[in-house]
Amino acid sequence: MGWRLRLLVVAALLGCVGAFCLANWLAEQPHVAARWRADSAGRIELQGSDLAALKPQQGQVLVGLVASDGAVLAIDARALQRSTRWLIDDPTRERHRQLLEQWAEALSQPLVGLRFGNGTAVEVATVRRGFGGLGAIFWLFSGIALALYLAAMVVVLARPSARNLLYAVMSLCQVGNLVLFAVESTPDLGLLPALAAWDMPGRMAFDLITAAAAVQAASLYPPSTAGGRRIALAAWGAVAATLALASLGSLSHLWWWTQAGVAVLCGLAIALLSWAYRSEPHPLAHQIRRIGMVALCIWLLLTVAVTVADRLPGMQHQLVAVASMAWYAFLASLLLLIPILTRSQQVMREFALLAAVSTVATSLDLLFVAVFSLGQFASLTLALFMSLAVYSGARQWLLSQVLGSRRLTTERMFEQLYRIAREVETHPQRVPALLLQLLHDLFEPMQAELVDATPASARVADEGATLLVPVPGLGGDDVAYSGAIRIRFAQRGLRLFTDDDALLTDRIVEQLRRAVAFDQAVEQGRREERLRLAQDLHDDIGARLLTLMYKAQSPEMEEYVRHTLKDLKTLTRGLAAPSHRLSHAAAEWKADLTQRLTAADVELGWAFTFDRDVVLSVVQWSALTRILRELVSNAIAHASARRVDVAFQLEGSRLDLTVTDNGKGRDPRAWSHGLGLGGVRKRVKQLGGEVEWREAVPVGIDCRVQVALHTAAD
């Protein structure tokens, strides 16, 4: 990047020096210190002046300029339209060019004679315009032109490629358009002869070359095809032939050739992008195609509006100038926006939309005045209302699609983060697969895979089509990860990844890391507390029960205490153990239930099937134990059941627990869930599962618990 950075600095300095030289050159040009405006009849009216000779003529109509030979050069409001680019008729454009040149020649003299409609002739001296006389629009468009020039230099030097070079060509052509518009926006009559002669040919070339470069850029989108290259070559050939004929004077109706040529070439570019998107759904091609469709519609609307309003000379120079100004600002903002689509620059996006809406509003105003003969206020109000409606719709359709909509809600995201954190405790080696699934649910990509890459943080690549996410180390020091997750074509190829997505992903990974660390800390505290409780129960309560058993007054009391002591030993052993095999836990559960149900004179039906033995964590063992005891206790105490059937089934990682009784319980939906049933729901949710109570046939209640046991296999 060393030589590129130096070239960029040189290019930036040249651009700044060029902008200053242009402003300084215009500031040195002579002009008449007066402000002019067009009236409703298409005449030029003196709006105001600080010159003593012109102050009495304020509000008078200027009818002509007195030449050096005494002849009066007639003038109307078209003289305020200093650009010939948006004049449709060739003879009218030629006469306008000659008028501008004559005015420029007359204004180059030390004294200028002005003839007003009241018959008064005033002779005034020309003065240096100065920087303050250039006008706000000049500085605005000069600044936009400089920004677009610098953007083109940055893009082409940062990553030289054919597509970036074409972007630079388009940008530099529009820089030329903006510079010409800035020069012509200075508040004055007349125009420099060289600019008057080259205005239409230059702008015609800039617009057609921009459109041809867009066609070739569209043909380079993956996968590049021979057909696309042939279309681009044909586009360049057509543009070259058109410009050659125009320069030789052999082509008439230049304005129509320019408007139609740009529209056709823009349509070809959109068709090529659609072709490329069907072959490979690159989201950048999709977004640029949307932008191109909006630009083409606005171009066609502007063309129709200027055509219809051509018969209104009194209004044309004002509204056409504003519409063309808004169009060039819109196109420049689009070119500035394209390189930073993935960086989600809200200000630039809104500026582009506002420029587009301004073009639409002025075009509609021209149409309403010309077609429906509406008054100026009525047409402007209606045009603004419709433009705001277009703005609200286009903002959602065009810009919101860059960011897209996420299928994964915040609530579901945190649920998945919690589930992953719990799963990492038992399966630390599954972190890449779990994070890959989370990112897939979040962004809905068309491709998601693990790759050998080591980015320091999440980053956007491939012009917004790809997001690289480093796999975090969540399993402790004994588990190491290498590589990254690469996801491509977000939202099924409809939207770009942005820097906000990369930041969001980094935050998700950080929250996942914190959740795992928190769970590990909590589990460590639970383990220490369980060991303490187990020790206290064994040393204190166990000793008391043993003493009570020896002092029992009857064999029945001794047997009851013996079973209680056995349950206590099972509980303390479970609390002290870090994990439990499912088969061992099932045996303990069966023995415990057999004892409890036998004491209550209730028959037990037991079924336990599994395709593999797994190791339960203490949290899983404790939750399942309490769930099973609570369900059986309800069947004994509330349902007055005579038989309880318990069925365990483990398939893969899914554990189904079904407890069915033949008691008197009915209509579970009408139950009020107290501490017992609420505790069951809470523990099932803690395991990430679901619980459901239903009426059994012919009598009783059937409770089904379904949980996913992400544990280590034996």
Q: For residue 373, is pLDDT > 80? A: no
Q: How confident is the model at residue 394 (pLDDT cuts 50, 70, 90)?
A: low
Residues 6+ apart with CB under 8 A from 536: none
Contact present, 88 and 366 (Cβ < 8 Å): no
Residue 176, SS3 per DSSP: helix
Contact present, 613 and 713 (Cβ < 8 Å): yes
The pLDDT tens digits of the residues spanning 239-258 come to 999 999 998 888 889 999 99
Mean pLDDT over 120-125 rounds to 86
- Residue 46 has a pLDDT of 87
- Residue 149 has a pLDDT of 94
Instruction: Report how far residue 138's alpha carbon sits from residue 233's, in angstroms, rounded to the nearest whole number.
Output: 37
Integer angstrom CA distances of residue 49 from 33, 56, 640: 6, 10, 105
DSSP secondary structure letter of residue 671: -
Q: For residue 364, is pLDDT > 70? A: no
The pLDDT tens digits of the residues spanning 626-639 come to 888 888 888 888 88
Mean pLDDT over 59-76 rounds to 77
Instruction: Report how far residue 76's alpha carbon sits from residue 4's, in angstroms, rounded to the nearest whole number.
Output: 52
Antiparallel, parallel or unpaired: β 643-651 and 603-610:
parallel
- Residue 426 has a pLDDT of 66
CB-side neighbour CA atoms (13 Å) of 161: 10
The pLDDT tens digits of the residues spanning 458-480 come to 888 887 888 898 888 765 554 55
Mean pLDDT over 158-170 rounds to 89
The two tokens of residue 470 are: 């480093």
Contact present, 77 and 42 (Cβ < 8 Å): yes
Integer angstrom CA distances of residue 5 from 8, 16, 152: 5, 17, 14
Q: How confident is the model at residue 713 (pLDDT cuts 50, 70, 90)?
A: very low
- Residue 258 has a pLDDT of 94
Instruction: Identify the weakest region by mean pLDDT among 64-73, 169-178, 337-346, 660-669.
Output: 337-346
Percent of the chain at pLDDT exceeding 70: 79
> What mean pLDDT value characterizes the chain?
80
Higher pLDDT, 147 or 404: 147
Which amino acid does the sequence have at 642? R
The pLDDT tens digits of the residues spanning 30-46 come to 888 888 877 767 778 88
- Residue 714 has a pLDDT of 42
Contact present, 567 and 592 (Cβ < 8 Å): yes
Residue 110 has φ and ψ, to the nearest 5°, of -65, -35
Instruction: Report how far residue 192's alpha carbon sits from residue 183's, in angstroms, rounded to the nearest whole number.
Output: 10
- Residue 106 has a pLDDT of 74
Higher pLDDT, 701 or 98: 701
- Residue 112 has a pLDDT of 83
- Residue 234 has a pLDDT of 93
Contact present, 33 and 51 (Cβ < 8 Å): yes
DSSP secondary structure letter of residue 57: G
Integer angstrom CA distances of residue 444 from 40, 100, 326, 413: 58, 60, 38, 14
Mean pLDDT over 549-561 rounds to 74
Q: For residue 109, is pLDDT > 60? A: yes
- Residue 20 has a pLDDT of 93
Q: How confident is the model at residue 95 (pLDDT cuts 50, 70, 90)?
A: confident
- Residue 245 has a pLDDT of 93
Look-up of token digits 């300095």:
13
Q: For residue 97, is pLDDT > 50? A: yes
- Residue 264 has a pLDDT of 96
Antiparallel, parallel or unpaired: β 127-128 and 121-125:
unpaired
Q: For residue 78, is pLDDT > 70? A: no
Instruction: Identify the weakest region by mean pLDDT among 113-117, 172-176, 315-319.
Output: 315-319
Highest mean pLDDT among 9-13, 327-331, 365-369, 697-701: 9-13
Mean pLDDT over 690-707 rounds to 89
As beta bridge partners, residue 55 has none
Instruction: Report how far residue 610's alpha carbon sits from residue 675's, in angstroms, rounded to the nearest whole number.
Output: 31
Instruction: Report how far residue 178's alpha carbon sits from residue 330's, in angstroms, rounded to the nearest whole number.
Output: 11
Q: How confident is the model at residue 513 (pLDDT cuts 50, 70, 90)?
A: confident
DSSP secondary structure letter of residue 191: -
Q: Find the radius of gyration of the CA atoms of the chain.
A: 40
Look-up of token digits 């051509």:
310
Q: For residue 548, is pLDDT > 90? A: no
Which amino acid does the sequence have at 199? D
Residues 6+ apart with CB under 8 A from 695: 666, 667, 668, 701, 702
Q: For residue 215, is pLDDT > 60? A: yes
Instruction: Identify the weakest region by mean pLDDT among 206-210, 304-308, 658-662.
Output: 304-308
Q: For residue 162, is pLDDT > 80? A: yes
The two tokens of residue 112 are: 């200028």
The pLDDT tens digits of the residues spanning 417-432 come to 777 777 776 677 778 8
Antiparallel, parallel or unpaired: β 615-617 and 603-610:
unpaired
Instruction: Report how far residue 313's alpha carbon sits from residue 710's, in angstroms, rounded to the nearest whole number.
Output: 79
Look-up of token digits 């029945």:
556
Which amino acid does the sequence have at 25? W
- Residue 291 has a pLDDT of 83
Q: For residue 303, is pLDDT > 70? A: yes
Cis peptide before 445 (omega within 30 of 0): no
Instruction: Report how far residue 692's alpha carbon sits from residue 703's, in angstroms, rounded to the nearest whole number.
Output: 6
* Residue 261: how many other CB atoms lie within 10 Å: 20
634: burial class by Cβ within 10 Å (0-12, 13-18, 19+)?
buried
| Cα dihedral value 10, 13, 15, 19, nearest 10 | -160
Mean pLDDT over 613-618 rounds to 81
- Residue 242 has a pLDDT of 94
